Each structure stands twice: as structure tokens, then as C-alpha cells.
Amino acid sequence: MLNSKILFQMTGSIACFKACQVLSKLAQARYDVQVVATKSALQFVGTATLEGLTGKAVVTDLFEQGRAMDHIHLVRWADLILVAPATANHINKMALGIGDDLLTTQFLAHDFKKPFLIAPAMNTAMYQHPTTQKSLGLLKNMGVEILETASGVLACGEIGWGRLLEPDLILAEIETRLKNSPSASSTLGEIPKTARAAKKILVTAGGTQQPIDQVRHLGNKSTGVTAAGISEVLYEMGFDVIYLQAKGSLSPRTPCEKYSFVTFEDLQQQLRSLLKDIRVDGVVHAAAVADFSVDTIEIDGKTMALNENIKLPTSDTLQLRLKKNPKLVNELRTLAGNSKLPVVAFKMTSHLPVDQARIAIEKVFSESKSNLVIHNDTREIDWDQKKYVYHVYKSKEKIATCENQTELGFQIGNYLMEVDP
């Protein structure tokens, strides 16, 4: 079993070779290490070496497709963050609050609730330069811990301060900080209690399955992609997320309290239970809920009531009689016992003209009294590429169009921050 999680940041210095020794020692001690490196660092040591030492691909690009939130996710994931080696350039940018690459933006996303260590490495003159010393002082005042350099022979051939601390000493510093850190005992999937004082938001995700017999069901194409993306953004904005998802649907990568459902009846019962037992500050009802359930089955003119033991015989004709399900989004405030509960509803249409889609959206507002309605139409969805377009409505007026789940999550999160439950 892996120990604490370490975000290991590397910047461009010849001392990267010593940093690899630290990585080796951390791997031997069974720490879970993720390396984030600048492009300059990779001029000194290759990605194959770093991946071989940690067992994980190196992250380096702030704009890599699918990893646009890594400047947030990885900082939240880690129990400790170490910059080794830290160049003068990187230290000075950190102190000034410059965020022009993945590493510096990760520092700006740091909340100072966990250890953040810097192990400088540079020429003596660069280390003792007033700018560098001032920057180190500013970082110390912020709560960053500086692992002071050693004196010795430098890469330039000079002797003096600026040498990266020895790997054994860096390892000892890491272990000392982790023992004293309240986040050291946390694991992926848990939310440190001291780090959250947030609104609780219930997010529903995925599609229901309405049984026909023991192996067949009526379903839909919902995967939970939208709800998972929204939940990740809400977590990063400081919300506590309760995630109620269809079995097999996508889960968020960020920590959350999870519950599951299969059928409409399962979802209805889970909502009743959760909204009764937990005081939530808002509901994002993104689940694709079946409008109908199977009531009876007619086989060769013979009507059979639906039950869990039914087996469909081979037949040339089979008719399903469906019954209308109630709209769960209309019941959320009643189930919660809170007439002012903020509710975000979703409405999908299929190739509807704009005026007809608008009528459908207004119907959701009228019947559910939702605060926001998120609309998308199937003609704007690429299921294979998981590309979606979302239109955000407030008080029946469109306030935004979002082209991905991250943008949509921020729209919803910003609204939930402002509104009082």
C-alpha cells in the first residue's frame, strides 16, 4: 500500500540528477509520487527516467488536452508539495505571483493547508543576489518552507552556497513534515475535515434503467460525463459534493460522498433518504431520469404484470405498456423540507426548433420552480467525442452558453455561491 502523496516539482537545473536520487528514495519508501516538470528541467533529465522512478507519466503542459485542471487537481491531491531543484528564476516568479506555466499556477492554487517545501539550487551569486534573498523571505512569510542550500563545489566549479541539499536530508525533511501534517493521514477519496467549511451540494448523475425482464431494460445514453465534470469544478471551488450516480456511470476524480441507483424507483428512494437525513445547500439534478416505466407486458395477446422473476418467451409479437413516472425535479424541495432550496435542472431536446425548445425550457421552470435550467439539444452533442454545448437559463432568460463541463461547472458554482438556501 502506498504512503502519503507527494507532488514533486522540478525546474531546470543540473541538480535534477540529484533530485532523481530523491525520487528513487521516495519510491523505495513506497510514497505515491507525481512529477511535474518544466520544459527546462526535461533538458537535464528525460521523461523516461522520471517515469521509470515513479511509475507515472510526467506532467509538464498546462494546456495538455484532458488535463486543463491539473494546476488545481494535483495540488488538492497531494499531501505535500516539493520543488527540487528550485532555480532562482522559479523562486522569483513564485514570490511575485507570476503564473505562466504549470508549476507556477499550481503554487497560486496552493491553499497553505499542507506543507510546501522548496529546495533551491543555483550558483552562489544567484543565491545571494538581493532579488533571490528577498523572494525567499517573501515565500517564508507566506508559509512556504525553504530547505536551505548546502555549501560545496557547484556545477560551475566554484565553491560556495547554492548546492542542492543532499537527497538523504531532503527525504528526512519530507518525512518530518508529513508526520506533523494534519493531511498526512488523508487518502484519495477523503476530504480533510479541517480543510472544508463549505456548502453541501447534491449532484445526481447518469441514466436510469427500467427493467423489462431479468436481463432487458429501457435506458438512455447518459454516461454521467456532465455531472462528473460539474462535480470536479464544484469541489475545486470549495463545495462539499454528494454524488448520487447511476451504477456504471462516470465518477468525478475529486473526493466526494458517493451513493448509487439503478432504476427510477432506486433514485427516488435515495433522494428521499438523502434529502431527509442530510441538510444540503443545493441540488444539481443532472441525472437522465426515465419518463416512463414498464407497467405490463403483452405476449401473444396475453397481458403479464411486470415482476422481477418474469422471463420473456420466444414470440413473434410483444407489446410493452408504459406508465408515466413523476418528475423528481419537481419534488426536490418537498423532499428536503426546504421551499427555498436552490435547484439546478436539466432539459435535453432533440432537434427542436428554437421556439419549441424555449417552450420546453419554460415548462421546466414553471413546473419545477428551478433556479437554473441547463438546456442542450442532441444536434449539439458529439457522443463519441464527448463534446457538448450547454445553454444556461436563469429566470427563463439565457445567461450563458458553455462549450464544456468546466465552463458549465463554474457557471453553476458561481450561482450557488451567491444564493442562500
Distance between CA atoms of residues 407 and 403, nearest Å = 7
Across-strand partners of 322?
294
| Cα(152)–Cα(80) distance, integer angstroms | 28
Are the C-beta atoms of residues 406 and 229 closer than 8 Å to each other? yes
Give the span between the Cα atoms of 82 and 10, in whole angstroms: 8
Residue 46 neighbours by CB under 8 Å, 6+ apart: none
**DSSP 8-state class, residue 393:** E
* H/E segment holding residue 174: helix 167-180
Max CA distance (Å), the chain: 96
- The CB density around residue 89, as the number of other CB atoms within 10 Å, is 16
Q: Is 156 a catalytic residue?
A: yes
Burial class for 247, CB neighbours closer than 10 Å (0-12, 13-18, 19+) = exposed
Q: Which of 20, 156, 256, 402 is catalytic?
A: 156
What φ, ψ does residue 322 adopt, rounded to 5°? -105, 155
**Which positions ≥6 away from 197 have C-beta within 8 Å?**
none
3-state secondary structure of 251: coil
Distances (CA, A) of 259 to 82, 205, 241: 35, 10, 11
DSSP-derived secondary structure letter, 254: S
What are phi and psi for residue 380, nearest 5 degrees? -105, 15
> DSSP of 57-84, one letter per residue?
PPB--TT-TT-TTHHHHHHHH-SEEEEE
Separation CA 87–CA 108 (nearest Å): 17
Q: Letter for the amino acid at 99?
A: G
Q: Please report how the helices 130-142 and 88-96 are oriented relative to each other, as an axis angle in degrees rounded to 10.
A: 50
Active site residues: 156
